[in-house]
C-alpha cells in the first residue's frame, strides 16, 4: 500500500482539499464578471487582514519576484540600500541589488542570531538610504526579525523605504503594514497561505507608491507598480493575464484564514512552534535560532552528533514525512521543518512520531513516545 507523505518542508506547504478544488475548476476568462468580483473581494480582504491603506498587488510569480518588485519600484541606479541579513534569503538581496547598480551595505548576523536594532539605526544615521530590506523569517536559519521594533525605529528615517520579506512569515507571524510602519511587504502563495506555488502578494504603503511615482519609467516592465495599479483597482482591465485558478485558490485560503481569525491563526502558529521545538529538543536536536527570536513558521534543527543527514531524511521520507536539508554552512548538519499554513494537531503528532521512528531506524538513541508526550502536553495546555 502506498504510504501518504506529509509535505513538511518550509514551502510549498500542505494544500487543503478545498484549496486544491479551486485549482481544478474550469478556467474562465479573466474578464468574467464572477471572477472579477472574486478578485476584487480578495484584494479588499488582503488589504484589511494586513492593515494596508496603500495598495495590494497579486501577480503571478514567486517570492523572488516580490523581492525584485519591491526594489525595482523604490530605488534607482546609484541609490544606497541597506540589507539586514539573517541568512541565505537576506543575502539574496545583495546579488539582486548589485545587479541593479545599487550601492549595497549589509548588516549580517551570525546564523541563529539577529542584528541588534540599535546597529541598524546607527547605520541609517550615517548615510541616506533609499531603502532597507529585512527578511521577517529567514528560512535558512528559522530566525524571526523584530519587524515591529525596526518599524518603530524607522519612523526617524522617513526618507527610507522599509521593505519586509514576508515569504516565510506572512499569514503565520503577525504583520500589520500601516501599524508597523512597513512600506512594502511581500510573500508567496506557497508558504503560510497554504496555496500551491505561483503567486506573489505585495502590499505597498502610500509612501512606497509615491516613491514609484517620483520616477518616470523604470527599466522593469512586468513588475512595474504603475502598470499593475489600474488592474488592482479594476481587475476587469488587462495588463498581463492573471493566474485565474491560483487567484481562486488564494481566495479560498483567505476564506479559511478569516474563518479561523487571523489573530487565532498567529496564536496557533506560535503554539505549534513551541510544541514542536520543545519535542525536538527532547529528542536531541538543537534549534538553531536563539530563544527569543525563533520563528513560528518553521524550525531549523541541528542534528545530534553522529546523525547522517541524507540517510536520516531518506528514512523520514520512507516513514512518511518530507523535510528540507540545511543550506550553506549548515548543509548536512541540519534539517528544516515547516510547521506553517493549514496544518493541524494531527500533523504535529504524525511528524514527531515519524521523526522518532526515523531516529530509531537510524540506530540513534531514542525513547519512542517521548517527543509525542511533549507535544501532547503543549497541545492540552
| Nearest distance, CB of residue 75 and ligand PMP, angstroms | 18
| Residue that has been written with the C-alpha cell 534569503 in this structure | 89
Give me Rg for the CA atoms of the chain.
Answer: 21
56 vs 209: CA distance, rounded Å: 11
Is residue 187 within the footprint of ligand PMP (CB under 6 A)? Answer: no
Q: Which of 139, 205, 277, 307 is close enough to bind ligand PMP by CB under 6 A?
A: 139
Which range of residues in 72-80, 163-171, 209-217, 241-249 is near ligand PMP by CB under 6 A? 163-171
Helix (H) or strand (E) holding 203: strand 199-204
96 φ/ψ angles, rounded to the nearest 5 degrees: -60, -45
361 vs 359: CA distance, rounded Å: 5
Is residue 56 within the footprint of ligand PMP (CB under 6 A)? Answer: no
Of 70 and 139, the one with the shorter C-beta distance to ligand PMP is: 139
CA of residue 315 relative to chain centroid, distance: 27
Of 262 and 340, the one with the shorter C-beta distance to ligand PMP is: 340
How many chain residues are in contact with ligand PMP, going by CB under 6 A? 12
337 φ/ψ angles, rounded to the nearest 5 degrees: -120, 120
165 vs 137: CA distance, rounded Å: 8
Is residue 89 within the footprint of ligand PMP (CB under 6 A)? Answer: yes
Of 74 and 135, the one with the shorter C-beta distance to ligand PMP is: 135
100 vs 74: CA distance, rounded Å: 12
Q: Which of 12, 172, 188, 326 is close enough to bind ligand PMP by CB under 6 A?
A: 188
Q: Is residue 42 a contact partner of residue 58, using CB atoms and an 8 Å limit?
A: yes
Which range of residues in 23-31, 35-43, 133-141, 234-242 is near ligand PMP by CB under 6 A? 133-141
Of 93 and 303, the one with the shorter C-beta distance to ligand PMP is: 93
Residues 307-336 that bind ligand PMP (CB under 6 A): none
Of 104 and 364, the one with the shorter C-beta distance to ligand PMP is: 104
Of 63 and 181, the one with the shorter C-beta distance to ligand PMP is: 63
| Residue that has been written with the C-alpha cell 528514512 in this structure | 315
Smallest CA-to-CA distance from 341 within 244, 243, 268, 289 is with: 268
Residues 269-308 that bind ligand PMP (CB under 6 A): none
Q: Which of 6, 32, 60, 62 is close enough to bind ligand PMP by CB under 6 A?
A: 62
Is residue 63 within the footprint of ligand PMP (CB under 6 A)? Answer: yes
Which range of residues in 40-48, 60-68, 203-211, 286-294 is near ligand PMP by CB under 6 A? 60-68
177 vs 147: CA distance, rounded Å: 10
Is residue 165 within the footprint of ligand PMP (CB under 6 A)? Answer: yes
User: What cell was used for 178?
Assistant: 500601516
User: Coil, strand or helix: which one is 185?
Assistant: strand
Close Cβ partners of 194 (under 8 Å, ≥ 6 residues apart): 13, 14, 15, 16, 19, 253, 256, 341, 342
Query: Which letter does DSSP use for residue 38 in this model?
Result: H
Of 186 and 248, the one with the shorter C-beta distance to ligand PMP is: 186
195 vs 197: CA distance, rounded Å: 6
Q: Which of 81, 167, 273, 301 is close enough to bind ligand PMP by CB under 6 A?
A: 167
| Nearest distance, CB of residue 108 and ligand PMP, angstroms | 15
Q: What is the DSSP string of 276-329?
A: HHHHHHHTT-EESSPTTSB-SSEEEEEPPTT--HHHHHHHHHHHTEE-EE--GG
Is residue 341 within the footprint of ligand PMP (CB under 6 A)? Answer: no
Q: Which of 40, 64, 106, 267 is close enough to bind ligand PMP by CB under 6 A?
A: 64
The residue whose Cβ lies closest to ligand PMP is 63
Q: Which of 56, 135, 297, 350 is close enough to bind ligand PMP by CB under 6 A?
A: 135
Which range of residues in 33-41, 149-157, 162-170, 205-213 is near ligand PMP by CB under 6 A? 162-170
Q: Is residue 64 a contact partner of residue 100, using CB atoms and an 8 Å limit?
A: no
Residues 3-42 that bind ligand PMP (CB under 6 A): 11
Which range of residues in 33-41, 112-120, 164-172, 324-332 is near ligand PMP by CB under 6 A? 164-172
Query: Which letter does DSSP use for residue 341 in this model?
Result: S
List interacting residues with ligand PMP (CB under 6 A): 11, 62-64, 89, 135, 138-139, 165, 167-168, 188
Amino acid at each position: 500500500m502506498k504510504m501518504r507523505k506529509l509535505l513538511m518542508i518550509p514551502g510549498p506547504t500542505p494544500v487543503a482539499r478545498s484549496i486544491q478544488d479551486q485549482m481544478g475548476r474550469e478556467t474562465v476568462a479573466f474578464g468574467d464578471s464572477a471572477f472579477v468580483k472574486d478578485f476584487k473581494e480578495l484584494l479588499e480582504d488582503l488589504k484589511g487582514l494586513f492593515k494596508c491603506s496603500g495598495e495590494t498587488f497579486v501577480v503571478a510569480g514567486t517570492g523572488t519576484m516580490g523581492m525584485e518588485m519591491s526594489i525595482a519600484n523604490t530605488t534607482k541606479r546609484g541609490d544606497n540600500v541597506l540589507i539586514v541579513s539573517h541568512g541565505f534569503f537576506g543575502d539574496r538581496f545583495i546579488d539582486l541589488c548589485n545587479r541593479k547598480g545599487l550601492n549595497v551595505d549589509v548588516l549580517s548576523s551570525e546564523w541563529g542570531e539577529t542584528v541588534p536594532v540599535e546597529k541598524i539605526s546607527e547605520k541609517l544615521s550615517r548615510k541616506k538610504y533609499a531603502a532597507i530590506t529585512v527578511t521577517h523569517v529567514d528560512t535558512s536559519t528559522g530566525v524571526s526579525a523584530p519587524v515591529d521594533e525596526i518599524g518603530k525605529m524607522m519612523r526617524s528615517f522617513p526618507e527610507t523605504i522599509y521593505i519586509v520579506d514576508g515569504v516565510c512569515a506572512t499569514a503565520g507571524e503577525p504583520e500589520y503594514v500601516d501599524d508597523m510602519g512597513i512600506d512594502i511587504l511581500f510573500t508567496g502563495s506557497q508558504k503560510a497561505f497554504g496555496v500551491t506555488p505561483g503567486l506573489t502578494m505585495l502590499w505597498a504603503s502610500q509612501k512606497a507608491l509615491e516613491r514609484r511615482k517620483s520616477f518616470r519609467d523604470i527599466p522593469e516592465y512586468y513588475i512595474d507598480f504603475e502598470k499593475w495599479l489600474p488592474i488592482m483597482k479594476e481587475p476587469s482591465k488587462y495588463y498581463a493575464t492573471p493566474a485565474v485558478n491560483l487567484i481562486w485558490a488564494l481566495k479560498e485560503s483567505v476564506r479559511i484564514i478569516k474563518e479561523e481569525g487571523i489573530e487565532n491563526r498567529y496564536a496557533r502558529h506560535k503554539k505549534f512552534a513551541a510544541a514542536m521545538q520543545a519535542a525536538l529538543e527532547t529528542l536531541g536536536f538543537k534549534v538553531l535560532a536563539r530563544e527569543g527570536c525563533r520563528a513560528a513558521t518553521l524550525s531549523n534543527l541541528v542534528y545530534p552528533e553522529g546523525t547522517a543527514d541524507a540517510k536520516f531524511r531518506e528514512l523520514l521520507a520512507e516513514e512518511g514525512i518530507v523535510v528540507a536539508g540545511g543550506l550553506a554552512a549548515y548543509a548536512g548538519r541540519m534539517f528544516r521543518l515547516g510547521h506553517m499554513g493549514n496544518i493541524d494537531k494531527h500533523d504535529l503528532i504524525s511528524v514527531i512520531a515519524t521523526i522518532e521512528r526515523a531516529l530509531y531506524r537510524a540506530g540513534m538513541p531514542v525513547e519512542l513516545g517521548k517527543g509525542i508526550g511533549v507535544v501532547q502536553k503543549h497541545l492540552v495546555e
